[in-house]
Amino acid sequence: MTTDKDPMTNTAETRQIAEEDRLRADLYNFLGLLLAGPPNEMLLAQTAGLSGDATEMGQAIGTLAKLAKVTKPKTATSEYNKLFIGLGRGELLPYASYYLTGFLNEKPLALLRQDMVRQGLERADNVFEPEDNIASLMEMMGAMIVGRFGAPASLDAQRQFFNKHIGPWAGHFYADLEGAKNSVFYAPVATVGRLFMEIEAEGFRMSGE
């Protein structure tokens, strides 16, 4: 995952974030947490407490909550390892470079690192994953929306970052995660992610017209 250079939150800026944007940031951060590593007992309990509505997204959240209630941390860890770590590699490689070029550590990662410098983001010292992994990108987007590393990013800046680093591949990744043979708990996580990427892409498209 990533960290911001200044860990202090600009509370005056943060208070001015619209409720809709705060909810968007919360969902990005939630997905980032679930994809950064296997959920512990506390995160599973928080997830089990979620409730959905009759919409497709609401139903996916409801399914995720039901699964979280019956999933033990040990089971979630085993599933996470099969999906993303494995012996040598997991079932999926959740990196922009891989999805866009077929190889790890390629141009998409270099371009992301350039934009991270411009946004004041840097990788945390205890993280060794390439920055273009899906969990880090979800966290970065959430941080940009609420201004965790300075002023909140403008809608145009959010759109540019999303369209450049997330939009071209994240939906494909989430669809693959939905259908992965080892996905049980992570299947509804993937559904939530896929639907959210569709909503975000459409929202950015409409705001850019």
What does pLDDT average to in each consecutive run of 10 residues of the chain (209 residues)? Answer: 41 66 97 97 98 95 98 98 89 97 96 90 76 96 91 94 98 98 98 98 89
Residue 8: what pLDDT?
A: 34
Residue 122: what pLDDT?
A: 74
Q: Which of 171, 99, 199, 119 is nearest to 109 (CA)?
A: 99
Q: Which of 179, 169, 175 is nearest to 193 (CA)?
A: 175
How far apart are the C-alpha atoms of 131 and 122, rounded to whole Å?
9
How far apart are the C-alpha atoms of 141 and 143, rounded to whole Å?
5
Residue 123: what pLDDT?
A: 74
Residue 33: what pLDDT?
A: 96
How far apart are the C-alpha atoms of 185 and 30, rounded to whole Å?
15
Please tell me the pTM assigned to this model.
0.90
Answer whether 185's CB lies under 8 Å from 67's CB: yes
Helix axes 41-48, 56-70, angle to 10 degrees: 140
